[in-house]
């Protein structure tokens, strides 16, 4: 367990602590196989953070088709959870695909030979080895296959393979054919983040990962973990993991803009080009050491020991985008709806503006409020039923990597910019067990 604890960073509780009965009998220590599933997790106790803090007055551009700009800072409480230090890699995702291929071949073989089933059962016998070099196995890997599972009582069927055509679809005028042909398949990219996966595919991976982890546990350990599943983090959890304890307690000031240890830009993360006010490009894509994505541990860990939360790839969250945009100004609040007209938005905002003798509210500032809110209404109308994506990517301007920023995409969207990392539900007994 000492080795396990060395791999897990525990933050002090940022809010009220739990009061519960200690475990009467601790399950035995996890096996090495089980430890490998959780060795990269960073644990966060229950706490409260200020979410949605924005320090910059930004104006959306034509490229910001999914980025939200209107924020209302608020104190929000979160439950205990754990988050992976690293984004899910190509190598990690390959294991998921291999499981599906193995299942398909075993199912086919079981129709011809009962040894591929458990005795007196219709369940597959995974103790019987199969030949992955066999021709029929290779044929399976060339097809498009689905992972089937149940979620909240609903049958899910998700095609498993990442779309590697995204490298050319996303950048029509760039020569990205080598990335399409090599990125997911060549061993040199094993430790790079998987991309071209939708939120639906990421959720299917989480289900498989949970299932495989449970299979490595004994009966007592399964009871302990029975209500904990690997999943995508919520937007709130993601933002909490990107802040230090001290920042989480502050409303606006004394905070890092990014999830990097130093908080400033530079070569601490992988993001897109930078252009100054004269349209001069003073930082190219490769200026931070990565022309495309980099390895998941390619930069020094940021706050809380987590790598690449700002930059490298944007990350799917499980949080559905709100259907209402709230806008606060001097303790007054209004709201906007998806697709709301600019005229309606302007009327609501001007109603909140103080008398003209308050010179801080210039016409330019008011117009910024109106443009940003209208932009966000258009984004939410375009991506109805979408989910939040956080962190910015190798291809995005630096503002996308800010902790408070978020984009909205539909759950079936696939991109060379978007990957994901795992979160895990925690309860009092699990925290005690892992302590």
Q: Average pLDDT for residues 107-117, to the nearest whole number? A: 85
Structural domains of the chain, count? 3
Residue 8 resides in a domain: yes
Q: Is position 63 within any domain?
A: yes
Residue 126 has pLDDT above 60, yes or no: yes
Per DSSP, the three-state class of 49 is strand
Q: What's residue 11's pLDDT?
A: 30
Q: What pLDDT, on a 0 to 100 scale, did the predictor assign at position 244? A: 66
Indicate whether 217 belongs to any domain.
no
Which residue among 153, 172, 195 closes a domain? 195
pLDDT of residue 59: 64
- The pLDDT assigned to 13 comes to 31
Residue 222 lies in a domain: no
Phi, psi of 305 (to 5 degrees): 75, 20
Residues 285 and 181 grouped into a single domain: no
Which of 272, 259, 277, 286 is CA-nearest to residue 394?
A: 272
Say whether both 282 and 297 belong to one domain. Answer: yes
Out of 78-92, 171-185, 222-236, pick the least confident: 171-185
pLDDT, greater one: 94 or 275: 94
Check whether residue 284 and residue 425 sit in a common domain: yes
Q: Identify the H or E element spanning 318.
A: strand 314-320
SS3 283: strand
User: What mean pLDDT do residues 197-217 have?
Assistant: 95
Please say which residue of 153, 175, 195 terminates a domain: 195
pLDDT tens figures, 360-398: 788 888 898 899 899 999 999 999 999 999 998 988 888
Q: Looking at the structure, do residues 33 and 68 belong to the same domain, yes or no?
A: yes
**Domain shared by 365 and 430, yes or no:** no
Q: Indicate whether 48 pLDDT > 90.
A: no
pLDDT given for residue 412 in this prediction: 96
Joined tokens for residue 433: 């067990």
Q: What is the residue range of 430's domain?
A: 2-86+227-321+383-434
Q: Are residues 396 and 314 in the same domain?
A: yes
pLDDT at 112: 85
- Mark whether 286 and 360 lie in a shared domain: no
Would you say residue 207 lies in a domain? Answer: no
Residue 73 CA to residue 53 CA, distance in Å, equals: 5
pTM for the model: 0.86
> Do residue 307 and residue 403 come from a single domain?
yes
Indicate if the pLDDT at residue 10 is higher than 60: no
Do 273 and 414 fall into the same domain? yes
Report the CATH number at residue 82: 3.90.1580
Give the C-alpha separation, 287 to 275, whole Å: 13
Given a contact cutoff of 8 angstroms between Cβ atoms, the answer to whether 51 and 76 are in contact is yes
State the pLDDT at residue 5: 36
Q: Do both 374 and 392 map to the same domain?
A: no
pLDDT for 395 equals 86
- 12 shares its domain with 107: no
In a domain, 213, yes or no: no
Higher pLDDT among residues 265 and 297, named by residue: 297
CA separation, residue 71 to residues 6, 37, 58, 278 (Å): 38, 36, 11, 28
């Amino acid at each position: 367990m000492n080795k396990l604890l060395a791999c897990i960073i525990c933050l002090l509780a940022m809010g009220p602590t739990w009061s519960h009965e200690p475990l009467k009998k601790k399950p035995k220590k996890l096996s090495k196989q089980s430890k490998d599933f959780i060795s990269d997790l960073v644990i966060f106790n229950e706490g409260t953070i200020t979410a949605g803090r924005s320090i910059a007055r930004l104006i959306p551009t034509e490229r910001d088709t999914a980025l939200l700009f209107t924020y209302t800072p608020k104190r929000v409480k979160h439950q205990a959870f754990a988050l992976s230090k690293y984004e899910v890699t190509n190598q990690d995702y390959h294991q998921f695909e291999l499981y599906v291929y193995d299942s398909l071949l075993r199912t086919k073989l079981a129709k011809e030979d009962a040894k591929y089933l458990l005795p007196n059962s219709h369940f597959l016998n995974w103790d019987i080895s199969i030949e992955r070099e066999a021709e029929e196995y290779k044929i399976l890997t060339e097809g498009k296959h689905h992972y089937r599972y149940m979620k909240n009582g609903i049958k899910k069927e998700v095609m498993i393979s990442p779309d590697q055509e995204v490298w050319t679809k996303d950048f029509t005028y760039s020569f990205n054919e080598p990335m399409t042909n090599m990125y997911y398949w060549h061993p040199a990219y094993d430790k790079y983040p998987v991309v071209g996966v939708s939120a639906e595919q990421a959720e299917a991976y989480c289900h498989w990962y949970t299932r495989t982890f449970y299979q490595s546990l004994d009966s007592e350990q399964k009871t302990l973990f029975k209500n904990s599943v690997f999943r995508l983090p919520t937007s709130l959890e993601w933002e909490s993991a990107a802040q230090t304890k001290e920042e989480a307690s502050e409303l606006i000031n004394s905070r890092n803009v990014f999830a990097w240890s130093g908080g400033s830009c530079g070569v601490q993360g992988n993001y897109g080009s930078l252009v100054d006010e004269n349209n001069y490009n003073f930082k190219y894509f490769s200026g931070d050491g990565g022309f495309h994505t980099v390895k998941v541990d390619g930069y020094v860990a940021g706050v809380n020991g987590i790598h690449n939360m700002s930059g490298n790839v944007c990350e799917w969250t499980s949080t559905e985008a709100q259907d209402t945009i709230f806008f606060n100004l001097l303790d007054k609040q209004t709201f906007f709806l998806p697709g709301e007209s600019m005229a309606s938005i302007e009327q609501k905002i001007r109603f909140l503006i103080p008398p003209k003798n308050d010179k801080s509210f210039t016409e330019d500032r008011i117009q910024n409020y109106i443009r940003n809110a209208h932009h966000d209404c258009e984004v939410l109308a375009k991506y109805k039923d979408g989910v939040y994506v956080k962190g910015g990517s190798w291809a995005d301007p630096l503002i996308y990597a800010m902790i408070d920023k978020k984009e909205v995409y539909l759950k079936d969207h696939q991109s060379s910019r978007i990957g994901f990392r795992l979160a895990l539900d925690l309860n009092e007994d699990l925290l005690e067990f892992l302590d």
